[in-house]
Amino acid sequence: MSLTKWNIVGQAKFVGLQNFIDLFRDTNFTRSLVNTLYFMFLTVPALVIGGLLIAMLVDQSLKGRVVTRTLVFMPYVIMSTVVGVIWLWILDARFGILNYYLSFLGIRPIAWLSSVNWAMPAVAIATIWWTIGFNMILFLAGLQDIPNELKEAARIDGASSWQVFWSITFPLLSPTMIVVVMLTLINTFQVFAQVYVMTGGGPAMATLTVVQYMYVQSFQYYRLGYGSAIAYVVFIFLIAFILLERKLLKRSGDLN
């Protein structure tokens, strides 16, 4: 289908690779790709490192760890579009609570969703809040698989907590790490609902993402052939992530 020109009514017309050629000349498409990568840059490190830190926190024998685990995971069960609506309200430029509390830190009100510079970070904040619990659970499972005796033994040998982390926990956690990183990459690359609700791709296309562009081209302009070509690009990216993951997992499996 990606090789046809087709706008729902009438017949599909074979156009060879024309859609793909157009795609790479289409500055809006390039824009959406760059935006998506920027979104990933904002969310992936925070989701992975943050998820790991919280998992390590609730892995300690502290009071309240079960409550913390439950509450951190809770946003994940909320629908993506509801997440968008909640954060629209929190981030409201004039009446939102975030700007209110930031004002205590001496930060002037930020027009989160209508500013070209802040719209993407705003979507990123909502996304991190929404999905970090998912990564926490995966890391927690990984942490609990590491036998306690290993850590104990190292401690008896006089290793500091820091050394225990870097030379025991971290290496043994690497398969989990790879899985979490890849799942996060795959999910963030497909960001759509939050953007649809919070910004609609605006302002001035500052938050237009790839999947959203595919949606707009296919189902608002009904350029189905062109939309399929975009879908192919998405597919190629995702397959690349997955193959990379397989390769890394295999290598880390060989090492252990």
Residue of the chain from 31, 190, 244, 248 that contacts another protein (CB under 8 A): 190
Asked whether the beta carbons of 31 and 23 are under 8 A apart, the reply is no
Other CB atoms within 10 Å distance of the CB of residue 160:
10
- CB of 24 or CB of 101, closer to another protein: 101
Residue 142 and residue 163: Cα distance in Å, rounded?
Answer: 19
Residue of the chain from 21, 49, 79, 150 that contacts another protein (CB under 8 A): 79
Which DSSP string corresponds to 119-137?
HHHHHHHHHHHHHHHHHHH
Q: Is 179 in the site for another protein (CB under 8 A)?
A: yes
Question: Can you state the angle between helices 119-145 and 174-189, rounded to 10 degrees?
Answer: 150
- CB of 74 or CB of 116, closer to another protein: 74
Q: Is 22 in the site for another protein (CB under 8 A)?
A: no
Q: Which residue has the tokens 């790479």?
A: 24
Residue 58 and residue 1: Cα distance in Å, rounded?
Answer: 49
Residue of the chain from 5, 20, 38, 92 that contacts another protein (CB under 8 A): 92
Mark 89-123 as b/e (b = at least 16 C-beta within 10 Å): ebbbeeebebbeeeeeeeeeebbbbeeeebbbbbb
Q: Which stretch binds another protein (CB under 8 A): 27-35, 38-46, 63-71, 162-170?
A: 63-71
Asked whether the beta carbons of 214 and 85 are under 8 A apart, the reply is no
Q: Which stretch binds another protein (CB under 8 A): 15-23, 25-33, 64-72, 150-158?
A: 64-72
**Per rule CB under 8 A, count of chain residues that contact another protein:** 72
Give the dihedral sign, CA 196/200/203/206.
positive
Q: Is 162 in the site for another protein (CB under 8 A)?
A: no
- CB of 17 or CB of 239, closer to another protein: 239
Q: Which stretch binds another protein (CB under 8 A): 16-24, 26-34, 37-45, 181-189?
A: 181-189
Which of the residues 132 through 161 are near another protein (CB under 8 A)?
133-134, 137-138, 141
Q: Which stretch binds another protein (CB under 8 A): 17-25, 41-49, 88-96, 162-170?
A: 88-96
Which of the residues 23 through 62 are near another protein (CB under 8 A)?
53-54, 57, 60, 62
